[in-house]
Structure 1
Amino acid sequence: MNPKWWKESIVYQIYPISFMDSNGDGKGDLRGIISKLDYLQELGVDVIWVCPIYKSPNHDNGYDISDYCDIMKEFGTMDDFDRLLQNMHARGMKLMMDLVLNHTSHEHPWFVESRASKDNPKRDFYIWRKGKNGGPPNNWESYFSGSVWELDPQTDEYYLHLYSKYQPDLNWDNPAVIDKLHEMVHWWLKKGVDGFRFDAIAHIVKKEGYPDAHNPSGATTVRAYDMFSNLENVHTLLQNLYDKVLFHYDIMTVGETSGLGPEQALDYVGDGRRELNMTFQFEHMNLDAASPGSGRWDVVPWKLTDLKQIISNWQTVLHGRGWNANYLCNHDQPRSVSRFGNDLYYRIPSAKMLATFIHMLEGTPYIYQGEEIGMTNIALESIDDYRDVETLNYYEEKRQQGVPEEEIMSAIHRKSRDNARTPMQWEDAHEGGFTTGTPWLRVNSNYAEINAANAVKDPDSIYHYYKKLIELRKKHKVIVYGEYGLLLPDHPEIYAYIRTLEDQRLLVILNFFDKEPVFELPADMKQGGMQLLLSNYQAPKNDDLTQLKLRPYEARIYLQQLEGK
């Protein structure tokens, strides 16, 4: 079982610019977070993951860091940070920082020096190459579209950026870079932070020689993720970071590692690997992609059987060998109730059902801010109302290709990262209670109905349902450590699974759609009573599990004591 505190924790993710504004400038800040710690403590969360708060020009909402050891002025000061950490620890909660080690801001002093001249001592802190045939060094495509290479006129060479041109990639082949980053990580740990979410960590190593990617289409740039994702030397570098820095602290670490399956994930999180506690996997986030590598914008309807296959594979492969990080939404993904549930007629039951799904799996559950009150996607009318750099780049690219405006905006309404970044809806008041000023991004107009104040007052709300799930997880070890088993793998509407630990078995029944399918308990599970722990509907009409007609988006959790064990 190998118990660990981070396995038994519930994590709440805060996107600080959108969480709570304390000074009326329209942007969330550290003092705003402090003011809501009682709310989070009451919810029952153990760890708060805060997205980047470092000094930054904010071209990618803080993921472009210009000083790793200072705080972005919009968020406050280092004194505010120290107060936040102290207040969290006083409440028994832990703080996980979001740390970007793949790249910095173009305004970071290292890069300012690096681009100053070809013989500058910091030149090799970044990846510089001469052009080829009058163009970039190779044909790799950025995550934010266009080439990964940007020509710098000052030295007539290109620098590499896997994300925006304002986020130059660090050169992890340079030992001096590694030493500086280790020193910085150690600095934060000495301050008392309790862990790190390592952003884009799978990309710190690039293919040796920077060769062109295979390009059957003849396009100018190619999605060449295999050239800079999960390459073997990433593990050597992470083990080095662990041995020299992380090993000395009892912390929580999670890596953002797209493009891998569970067997590959074990290279990062397998017991004894000396790398990370867990990784975020993205297979289920690609369920609605039209084709592999097609990106977030080209979507098709997703299938429950595909979700079952993906999740079951991760649950089975990692059991007893590594650890899962379970989520349906974050700052880079649409709202979970709008994507996997029904945000119109069945918003409340479907949000509760999705929460049941995530919190009853083996692995650490992650709650994204607003998920606990069922916040939804937003459909802004004009591209001028959007702030996400990826969304704006997509819009310009499609306009240049002649794609109709209506078609572009439809894709943006479904998948823009700004769906999850709208300000937190605290109450039915000016701008949802988020700010007394003008918010940096529009507040969803449904804040009068969907807000935390209403949710806290209503004992049948999504918020209180989350509290019950968290309480169950803290009470029953089978929910944390039990072995997963899938039932009804081919059923198109019901996702049912069991968790087994010693003499206890948990049964989770989930109806993922608005029809009323019938669940039939497998014959080998009919011996022994079933105790209903929680349901997202009041007073179940029928507890005969041999023929159980489920209501739209119904969720049920049962506990069974196994005989003879």
Structure 2
Amino acid sequence: MRKIRSLTTLGAAVVLLAVGFILAERYFLDLGSINQKIISLGVDDQDQVRKWWKEAVIYEIYPASFKDSDGDGIGDVPGIISKLDYLHDLGVDVIHICPHYQSPQVDMGYDISDYEDVHRPYGTVEDVQALIHATHTCGMKIIFDLVINHSSDQHKWFEESRSSKDNPKRDWYFWRPARWDAEGKRHPPNNWRSHFTAPAWTWDEKTEEYYLHIYAPEMPDFNWENEETRKGLYNSSMIFWLERGIDGFRIDTVNKYSKDIKFPDAPIVEPWEETQPASEFYNNGPRIHEYLGEMKEILDRYGALTVGELSHFPFSEEGVLQFASAGSGQLNMVFNYALMALGQTRERGQHSRSPFNAPVFKKEMSRWQTFASDTDAWVTLFLENHDAPRSISRFGSDGSAEEQMRSGKMIAMLLATMTGTLFLYQGQELGLANAPRSWPVEEFKDVRSVNMARKAKEKCKHDSTCLKKEIDELWETARDHARLPMQWNSGPNAGFTDEGVTPWMRVNNDWKTKNAELQSGNSLSLLGFWKRMLRLRKEYKDLFVYGVYQSYATEAAELFVFTKVGSGKKSLTVVNMSGEEKRWEGASSILGEGCRILIENIGGGAQREEVLSAWEGRVYSTVL
């Protein structure tokens, strides 16, 4: 028989001692101090501090691709309002709106030209106010994207800043003189590389200086060292919308505001390139927690929810605690981009991506489940967002329709039975997958994809093999996959926009067989399964949201097995993250006799207890 080994165990004496300490805390510590810092000893889920946002299901909406209400081929705010009942019926508690602000759309709204206005194809400030009201009327909350590392170069602040060297807002952005070599050739102030284009500096002819941009040249970075800049940002980007009733923010690039303002050259790790990766100099700078502390004072006045994007961050437990500790951090939680990077990025010196594999995935997921139990910080649960390919294509199957649905249900079981705040991305509940590889690269619109395609064509001018390899790499990592229009029905344009209208991005090929209308009337569909899982998560929140996690190793590396314990109950989740049948010892070896299947994605699991079919998953439960 295959052995299943417990990875985390507690001796009986340790358990009794831990319970004693917990009881002592309950009697001798005031409630406020307990709420400030709870250290779970892995004994009882009741020691987790209960918060509404820990139990919430948060649904991310990409406005341009969600629902077009006026027939211009671009999604809009009234379109979102028209689908609020759908989201409420799904089990959503909070909607997260990606940037809707006025913008030239160089980076799909992450280049903001006015924080207090709305991108006209999306609607008006009045439309957004109506969305806030309608969301609250439906019993849900709403959070916005907070994008304050940079602005658009068309923002009035930057236009003033670049108008002259003595303009009062000159110091609101980073300006530096050129470096000149012995031959009199002009060079940027340092060798930093941006994320979207090669140099992180752009020359301004009018004032004859360079300005810094960690992203595109049209997205200059704010100088957070300037107190007036920070005050301007707080008033325009945060208070303006908090006063209008929103419930919080997803905070973009939250660890980039403080930089090394000496602007040293980055180490040369790619000698064949003129610019070098430099994230160590513009991430997690010396004043970052001071700045976030200022923001927290404002956010706390409104009781605002905060979830931070720690981009290009070394995801150590200690590092995350600095941002998300309940006692000393400034954020409620952060996204785990170490998990999202699996199979997507190249390490320094690598010429290709490290392939995704289940053991690494399980290890990373388990690390943060344990972190939630062992610290006073909270974690996020998500496998999709607007910056990554679709989860079914990455962690499940891109094969037949049946395999896609089965693996989608497997992913739903995995996420819904873990500790943390659950985030869904639009269309994830329908099993939307990546665009077909047969599509020409010209279908992709993202600034990153466009730049990568251009660079690939320059690099591989007369080498078709080279070009195919580069385009394959782009296709595997493109953000565009998540930005294809939402598939509402089997009609023209998948119901995203009117018949005869060309949508801003092409609809995926499978819209006629994979859409919300088709799945809504089918309890066996992936949408129906997500509804069941979210109801189950709420019904058993003491177990799934707050319960103590324990993982188990198996001989089959593709099996992910873990238990949750809470409120006198114990659950067991087992999923097969592969397209092949796998054997295991069975639930009774962990839960004992008398356990029952709570939910499964393939019927008849009780009759084939020790066998898991391809992409099969089961959740068992028992009373302790």
TM-score tier by shorter-chain length is over 0.9
The answer to whether structure 1 residue 461 and structure 2 residue 525 are counterparts is yes
Of 322, 335, 339, the residue aligned with 1:284 is 339
With structure 1 as the length reference, what TM-score do the two structures score?
Answer: 0.95
- 1:253 aligned residue (306, 313, 320): 306
Residue type matched to 2:529 in 1? Y
Per-residue displacement from partner, 1:11-50 (whole Å, max 9, x unpaired)?
A: 1110000000000100000000011111101101000001
Matches of 1:434 and 1:503 in 2, distance apart? 46
Structure 1 residues 555 and 95, CA gap change in structure 2 (3 angstroms)? same
The one-letter code of the counterpart of 1:153 is E
Deviation at 1:181, TM superposition (A): 1.6
Taking structure 1 as reference, are residues 123 and 489 closer, same or farther at Cα in structure 2, changes over 3 Å only?
farther
- Choose from 391, 413, 418 the match for 1:356: 413
CA–CA distance in structure 1, aligned partners of residues 279 and 69 of structure 2: 40
- Counting only pairs closer than 5 Å after superposition, residues 133-144 of structure 1 correspond to structure 2 as 133=180, 134-144=186-196
* Alignment partner of 1:275 out of 330, 334, 338: 330
- Residue 414 (str. 1) matches residue 473 (str. 2): no
Determine if the alignment matches structure 1 residue 516 to structure 2 residue 581: yes
Shift of 1:521: 4.3
Measured in 1, the distance between the counterparts of 2:280 and 2:510 equals 41
- The one of 183, 188, 209 equivalent to 2:235 is 183
2:253 to 200, 203, 222: 200
Residue 558 of structure 1 is matched in structure 2 by 620
Q: Distance in 1 between matches of 2:506 and 2:286?
A: 43
Pick 1 or 2: higher relative contact order, CA cutoff 8 A, min separation 6.
Answer: 2
> Which residue is 2:290 aligned to?
236
Instruction: Return the offset for 1:302.
Output: 1.3
Are 1:448 and 2:512 matched, yes or no?
Answer: yes
Determine the structure 1 residue equivalent to 2:534: 470
Alpha-carbon distance between aligned partners in 1 of 2:416 and 2:348, rounded to the nearest angstrom: 29
User: 2:445 aligned to 371, 374, 387, which one?
Assistant: 387
Number of aligned positions between the proteins: 557
**Residue 241 (structure 1) shift:** 1.0
Query: Which of the numbers 164, 177, 191 marks the counterpart of 1:117?
Result: 164
Deviation per residue, 1:484-510 (Å, 9 max, x gap): 111116641101111122422121101
Within a 5 Å distance, the mapping from 1:80-95 to structure 2 comes to: 80-95=127-142
Map 1:89-168 → 2, pairs under 5 A: 89-133=136-180, 134-168=186-220
After superposition, give the CA deviation of every residue in 1:453-506 in whole Å (9 maximum; x if it has no partner).
011011100001111111011111211101111111664110111112242212
Q: 1:222 aligns with which of 248, 256, 276?
A: 276
CA–CA distance in 1 between the matches of 2:618 and 2:512? 30
1:172 lines up with 2:224 in the alignment: yes
Question: Are the counterparts in 2 of residues 529 and 561 from structure 1 also a CA contact under 8 Å?
Answer: no
When structure 1 is superposed on structure 2, of 22-31 and 483-492 the one drifting more is 483-492
Pairing of 1:296-335 with structure 2 (within 5 A):
298-319=352-373, 320-335=375-390
Moved more, 379-388 or 349-358: 379-388
**Pairwise CA distance, 1:397:** 1.3
Instruction: Kindly report which structure 2 residues correspond to 1:336-375, keeping only aligned pairs within 5 A, or say none.
Output: 336-345=391-400, 346-375=403-432
User: Which secondary structure state, in structure 2, belongs to the residue aligned with residue 412 of structure 1?
Assistant: helix
Assess, with a 3 A threshold, how the Cα gap between structure 1 residues 137 and 427 changes in structure 2: closer, same or farther.
Answer: same
Residue in 1 aligned with 2:25? Answer: none
Q: Distance between the aligned counterparts of 2:60 and 2:321, measured in 1? A: 24
Match of 1:211 in 2: 264
Amino acid corresponding to residue 222 of structure 2 in structure 1:
L
* SS of 1:361 mapped into structure 2: coil
Alignment partner of 1:24 out of 42, 64, 71: 71
Q: Work out whether residues 103 and 168 of structure 1, in 8 Å CA contact, stay in contact via their aligned partners in 2.
A: yes
Report which stretch shifted further, 22-31 or 343-352. Answer: 343-352
**Structure 1 residue 355: Cα displacement:** 1.6
Which residue number in structure 1 is paired with residue 599 of structure 2? 534
2:303, 2:136 → 1: CA distance? 15
Distance (whole Å) between structure 1 residues aligned to residue 554 and residue 361 of structure 2: 10
Give the conservation status (yes or no) of the 8 Å contact 2:188–2:210. Answer: yes
- SS for the counterpart of 1:96 is strand
User: Does 405-414 or 87-96 show the bigger shift?
Assistant: 405-414
Alpha-carbon distance in structure 2 between the residues aligned to 1:312 and 1:491: 17
Secondary structure in structure 2 of the residue aligned to 1:420: helix
* 1:400 equivalent in structure 2: 458
Given that 2:562 and 2:572 are in contact with CA atoms closer than 8 Å, whether structure 1 keeps it comes out as yes
TM-score (norm: length of structure 2): 0.87
2: CA distance, partners of 1:197 / 1:526: 39
1:528–1:270 distance in 2 versus 1, CA, 3 Å = farther
Question: Residues of 2 paired with 1:216 and 1:223: CA distance?
Answer: 8
Structure whose CA Rg is larger: 2
Equivalents in 2 of 1:513, 1:525: separation in Å?
22
The residue that corresponds to 1:500 in the other structure is: 565
Q: What displacement does 1:409 show?
A: 2.6
Q: Specify whether residues 528 and 34 from structure 1 end up closer, same or farther in structure 2 by C-alpha distance, changes over 3 A only.
A: same
Give the Cα–Cα distance (whole angstroms) in 1 for the partners of residues 352 and 206 of structure 2: 38
CA contact (8 A) 1:145 1:394 kept: no
8 A contact 2:435–2:508 mirrored in 1:
yes
How far apart in 1 are the matches of 2:210 and 2:446? Answer: 25
2:572 counterpart letter in structure 1: L
Deviation at 1:286, TM superposition (A): 2.1
Q: Which residue of 1 aligns with 2:552?
A: 487
What is the aligned-residue identity percentage? 37
| Secondary structure in structure 2 of the residue aligned to 1:367 | strand
Distance in 1 separating the partners of 2:555 and 2:220: 46
Is this contact kept in 1: 2:344–2:477, CA < 8 A?
Answer: no
